[in-house]
Amino acid sequence: MDNKNPPWSDIGYSFLVDEEGNIYEGRGWDRVGAHTLGYNDDGLAWAYIGSYTSRLPSQAAIDAGKKAIACGVTLGKLKSGYTLRGHRDVGTTLCPGDKLYDDVKNWPHY
């Protein structure tokens, strides 16, 4: 591998959300992600930091993710009729974890 040109120069996700509800910018709104093969050019991705197979993230984290999506619509970065999907809907992965995935399926636009 050429160390001057790694496969990607940043985290692949658009944003990350922690348990306290803090949102960290990865690639942000305007850079193509490296999160989901075949969907990077037309999708944004939020990663919840942690493992959510047997438990949900905190309510603060869930609320922050929903607010970030609403912010994207307000800023014109997401269409108001956007489609929400879990990572496993478009790739072979256990992401975002069974508990979080079951919750996301009840969010608007899923």
Which overall architecture, per CATH, does domain 15-104 show? 3-Layer(aba) Sandwich (3.40)
Task: Work out the pLDDT band at 1, boundaries 50, 70, 90.
Answer: very low
pTM: 0.85
Range 41-68 average pLDDT: 94
- Give the DSSP per-residue string, 34-65: SSSTTTTTT---EEESS--SSSPPPHHHHHHH
C-alpha count within 13 angstroms, C-beta hemisphere, residue 75 = 11
Model pLDDT, residue 29: 92
Task: List the chain domain ranges.
Answer: 15-104
Using DSSP's 3-state secondary structure scheme, residue 29 falls into coil
Would the pLDDT of 9 be above 70?
no
Whole-angstrom Cα distance, residue 44 to residue 49? 16
